[in-house]
Amino acid sequence: MEYSPPPLFKQGAPARVKVIVFALISIVLLLVDARMNTLATIRQVAGTVLYPLQMAALMPREAVTTMGGYFSSLSALQKEVHELKTQQAGTALAMQQARLQMAENVHLRKLMGAREHIPVKSIISEILYDARDPSARKIVLDRGARSGVALGLPVIDNAGVVGQVTRVFPFTSEVTLLTDKEQAIPVQVLRNGLRSVAYGRGNSGSLELRFMTPNADVQVGDVLITSGLDGVYPAGLAVAKVTQVENSASGAFGRVVCQPLAGVDRNRQLLVLMSLPELPPRPPAEPPPPGKRSQLPKMAPLDTPRAPQAAPTAPAARPPARPAPATVTAAAPAQTPAAATETAR
């Protein structure tokens, strides 16, 4: 019986022959495609058919690449956001400082402009802090006795009067604001020249004109300026603006409320006027008018008569001694007050 392998293990042509055949077919196809370009259509059809399989094979690689790019991009974006926030904070701080410096520059320019229009010498001072007493309206400046600051000097800004120096230290000074309850300033209405005195109202931050007659010519919107009658504030400095006028028919006086024009609680740089306005000397005091008593002449002192002195008597056992001659002054007769008055006349 002849032995033969099963069909599964049957072998055809040898592998070497197959390699040679397929190599020859490949060479022929390359030559035909290179010479006549006849396989372009077949190549396009094959690429179109195999494209879905190609994309499916590349999906794992694309997923891994995309996931790595996502996480790397997320960390890069977070780092960039942090850097931008830090830069923004620094820029915001620099911008705020620039705005503050610009505001201070504008205010200083206004102070210099106001300084040129003031006839007295002045120095620029900066506010250090508010006074510790919450019930008082006071501030502390960085100028003191070393800079020539003295008690009573007025303090102003570019808009008007701020207050007055009330305490002086070697390097600092304390200023009482116009709105303090214990502060008063002589003013006059710019519109008609009506004079009055403005008093501070404390923490309300306003001023008040007291003892105004109900028919006083004061209107809302009137500007009050210094009258210069106190010898402290130069005349013509802006003080306040009238905001409220109350005239009560039953009361003896009206009520006028004013708002300060100066930056009492806003500005940081102020002007200290270094000299008080020069006033003419006061006239000498007049003597008091003569009264009824002063018209009478002064009474001369009266000479009271003296009693004559008796000569001393000698004892009986001894002979009497010769008395020394004594000068006796004749006594003037007593005069009545009426007679003395007539004599003085």
Report the alpha-carbon distance of residue 258 to residue 245 in Å, rounded.
9
Nearest to 344 by CA among 302, 312, 314: 302
Strands 184-189 and 122-130: unpaired
Give 165-222 pLDDT, tens digit per residue: 999 999 999 999 999 988 899 999 998 989 999 999 888 889 999 888 878 888 899 9
Label residue 106 by pLDDT band (50, 70, 90). confident
Instruction: Tell whether pTM > 0.75.
Output: no
Give 38-93 pLDDT, tens digit per residue: 777 777 888 888 888 888 888 888 888 888 778 788 888 888 888 888 888 888 88
Report the alpha-carbon distance of residue 273 to residue 232 in Å, rounded.
10
| Rg from Cα positions in the chain | 58
Nearest to 212 by CA among 257, 243, 254: 254
Domain annotation for the chain: domains and CATH numbers: 13-94 (no CATH), 122-273 (2.40.10.340)
Report the alpha-carbon distance of residue 25 to residue 324 in Å, rounded.
197
Dihedrals phi, psi of 189, to nearest 5 degrees: -75, 130
In this structure, the number of other CB atoms found within 10 A of the CB of residue 74 comes to 10
* Residues 6 or more apart whose Cβ sits within 8 Å of residue 312: none
Give 275-314 pLDDT, tens digit per residue: 776 666 767 777 766 655 545 555 555 555 555 554 544 4
